[in-house]
Structure formats: structure tokens, C-alpha cells
Amino acid sequence: MNDSPGWASPGSAPSDGQDDAAVPRPTPPGDANGSTSQWSETQPPAGQWQPPTAPVHGAPQPAPARAHGGPGWGGQAPHGPWGLPPAAKPGVIPLRPLTLGEILDGAVTTLRRYWQTVLTVSVAVAVVMQIAEILTQRYLMPAAPVINPDASPAEALDQLGETMRISMIRMGPAYVIMVAATLISAALLTVVISRAVLGSPVTLGTAWREARPRLLQLLGLTLLVPLIGAAVMFVGTLPGLLLGGPAGVSLAVLGGACAFAVVVWLTIRFSLASPALMLERQGVIKAMKRSAKLVQGSWWRIFGITMLTQLLIVVVAMLVAIPFTVIALSVAGNGLSDLLDGTVPEKSWSFLVITGIGGVLTSALTYPISAGVSVLLYIDQRIRREALDLELGRAAGLPGYGG
């Protein structure tokens, strides 16, 4: 154990250039006579542990591969959901490799069980973000361009360019606000969720003290990953842009599609870098390498869970935002007819305030779920690769997991 928030033991991680099979395992709990033994260098694949056989009188007792179920676990132990053996559950997740449902349930349970700390973080961040966004929309953002449906091809091309320019101007402040909100909420919620795994509540002050020293490095990570993605997209589309003409357009589209696939691959590859940086106190580059090592061999699984989570977040956001948008249009304009006509009163105070309230509620619900899935995916990968469940059991003070 090191001095990471609540728990972490990256010293034996295979991301330091070692082979997974050669990683030294933690010393498991001893047998009834008090003796202990080291982990074998050859370990079964994650999630395929077998209960120990009945002991032979007078023979030395091997240590169990996992301390699931605490002392006395053995023989034909009953199996839990999905054929997995029952495991200790000091906090919001059982201490074994997690299923998709357990990852989502752990994120929601953290929100429900520690709602005071979690909602204090997410609501405070969301309120500041929405106030900044309302002021930006009111005073800084240019008005949306008016599209003329009867324009000539040349005029339509000019309108498209103007629309893209204004969209970039409008997205810039929103992106800066989103990065700041995501940074603070992710840092604080990562600490809260790491304690929730152990069943230990954490106050907002404690979470801030533990997260504050990592904010600058987390900011660098938050900016570096999108910057790498933008560079990949630029390189992919540059040959087509330089060529010009119809062939250049086709080449740019093809290069952009290939570059987008690379960006998605890199995004998932580095998706666990943020919890690695926060919980293992890694630097930016080391956290990215750590994430790449943990994701290796599980890219499609992490991609599927991440995409499903984002889909659920979009659905929740729509369910919350649509009623507030309808109310805002009814108060500030002529209802849905304004939305259909493209004349949304986006600079009206009443419209901005009402939609801002909807944005606060949306962010308060989605921030904890997004952060929770990310942290629990990281924990799940370390349990599968590094027997982190034993470290967590010891950190939670469970019997049968050692001192």
C-alpha cells in the first residue's frame, strides 16, 4: 500500500515493462496453522478461479488463489450471478472481476449511498458551469447565421463557411467550460468512488485535499488526449486538402474516416489514464502508458461498456433536458413553433435560465455515473490483471485478506 487516496498498489503493476505472468503477487492469508506461501508464478486466467480441494490430513495447505468469501470458504461453495463465486463486498462492488451490470450498479449505488458528497460536488460544478455558459451565450456568442434556402450554389457555400466559423466560435467557450467542469468533478468524484469501493465515506473537504495536488497534471492529461486526436485528424485530412478538387475531397473524406478510427482507438486506449493518475499518483505520460497496459487485450470490452454508458447518459440528458426546453420555449417564445422555424430565443434571459436549470439537473446526474464507470473499469482491470481485490480487502480490513 502506498499513500494514494484510500488504496493503490501500482508497484507490482505489469505496466512497468514486466510480463503479466511475472508480476509478483501479494502474499495471501495463511492457513489454519499460521503458515503462509507465495503466489505461484503461473496463475489461472482472471475470473476462472477454482475453490480449494478438501485438505489432506498432515499435508501442507496451499494458499487460496483468491480470498473470496473470507475464512472457511472451500469445497463446493455456492456460485453467484453469471457463475462467479461469491465475494466479499465491503462497499459498492464485490471484490472480484466485475460484470457490466455490477459496474453500472456500482456507479449508481455510489450516487445513492453517498448522495450528500456526490451531489455537492456535481451540483456545485454544474451550477458554476451553467452560470458561465449563460453569460457566455448572452454576451459573447455571435448570433446564429440565417440560412437562405433560395441561395445560389456559390452563396450556399459562403453560408456554409460562415456557419462553420460561427459554430467554432460558439463551441470554443463551451468547450473550455466543459473541460474545467469535467476536470474538477472527475478529480473529486474519483476520490469519492475509490473510498466507496471500500465502504468508507469521504467528506468534500477530504476529497478536495486529496485531489487538489493532482489537478494540474489532470488538466494536462485532459488537454493532451484531445490534442493528440486533433493532430491525428489533421494529418489524416491534410493530403486531400492539399490535393484539392473532387479527388482531393474524396481523399480527405477517406483520410478523415481512417483518422477518426485511429482517434477512437486512442481514446479507449487512454480512457483509464485519469483514474490511474489520481489513484496511483502517476505523471501524465506514465498514466497514459498505465492505461494502455490495462486496456491491452480488453479494448473491445472497454469500448462496448464506454459506448453503452455514453448512450445511457445521452438518454438521461434528453429525458431531463426536453421538458425544460419545452417550458423555456413556452415562456420565452411561441412554443415549439419557434423551434420548428429555427427562431429559438437563445439570448432571452428566461430561456437561458430555464434551460440552465435543466442543465444543472442533467449534469448532477450524469457526472457521477460517467466518473463512476471510468473508475470502476480501472478497478476491474486491475483486479483481473493484478489481484487488486486482495489489496482492497486488506485496505477494507476484511478477515481472511491478511494484515
> What is the pLDDT, as a whole number, of residue 163?
64
Q: Give the CA radius of gyration of the chain.
A: 26
> What is the pLDDT, as a whole number, of residue 186?
87
Mean pLDDT of 356-368: 89
Domain assignments of the chain as residue spans, ordered by start: 109-388
Coarse DSSP helix, strand, coil percentages of the chain, rounded to the nearest 5 percent? 65, 0, 35
CA 162/CA 23 separation, integer angstroms: 57
CB of 140 closer than 8 Å to CB of 126: no
Give the Cβ contact number of residue 6 at 10 Å. Answer: 21
CB of 140 closer than 8 Å to CB of 173: yes
Q: How far apart are the first and last CA of the chain?
A: 11
> What is the pLDDT, as a whole number, of residue 311?
94
Query: Which of 247-261, 285-299, 314-328, 333-347 has maximum average pLDDT?
Result: 285-299
Tell me the pLDDT tens digit for each residue of 51-81. 333 444 444 444 444 444 333 333 333 444 4
Q: Spell out the residues 6+ positions from residue 54 whose beta carbon is closer than 8 angstroms to its own.
A: 74, 75
Average pLDDT, the chain: 76
- Percent of the chain residues topping a pLDDT of 90: 35
Tell me the pLDDT tens digit for each residue of 122-177. 898 888 888 888 887 777 665 555 555 665 666 655 666 666 666 665 566 666 77
CA 87/CA 73 separation, integer angstroms: 10
From 22-26, 268-272, 290-294, 322-326, the region with the lowest mean pLDDT = 22-26
32-65: string of b/e by CB count within 10 Å (b at 16+)? eeeeeeebeeebeebeebebeeeeeeeeeeebbb
CA 214/CA 216 separation, integer angstroms: 6
pTM for the full model? 0.73
Mean pLDDT of 188-203: 90
Give the Cβ contact number of residue 183 at 10 Å. Answer: 20
The DSSP letter of residue 268 is H
Residue bearing the bigger pLDDT, 339 or 39? 339
Q: Is 84 helix (H, G, I), strand (E, B) or coil?
A: coil
Query: Which of 167-171, 214-218, 238-242 has maximum average pLDDT?
Result: 214-218
Confidence of residue 242 (pLDDT cuts 50, 70, 90): confident
Tell me: pLDDT of 384 over 90: yes
> What is the pLDDT, as a whole number, of residue 377?
96
CB of 270 closer than 8 Å to CB of 225: yes
- Give kind and range of the element (H or E) at residue 235: helix 215-243
* DSSP-derived secondary structure for 2-14: -SSSS---GGG-G
Spatial CA neighbour of 133 closest among 368, 398, 359: 359
Tell me: pLDDT of 367 over 60: yes
Tell me the pLDDT tens digit for each residue of 299-332. 999 999 999 999 999 999 899 888 888 888 787 7
- Nine cell digits for residue 231: 493532430
Residue bearing the bigger pLDDT, 336 or 229? 229
Mean pLDDT of 5-32: 44
CA 353/CA 347 separation, integer angstroms: 10
Spatial CA neighbour of 72 closest among 60, 55, 59: 55
> What is the pLDDT, as a whole number, of residue 2?
43
Tell me the pLDDT tens digit for each residue of 92-107. 999 999 999 999 999 9
> What is the pLDDT, as a whole number, of residue 147?
58
Residue bearing the bigger pLDDT, 268 or 43? 268
Give the Cβ contact number of residue 246 at 10 Å. Answer: 8
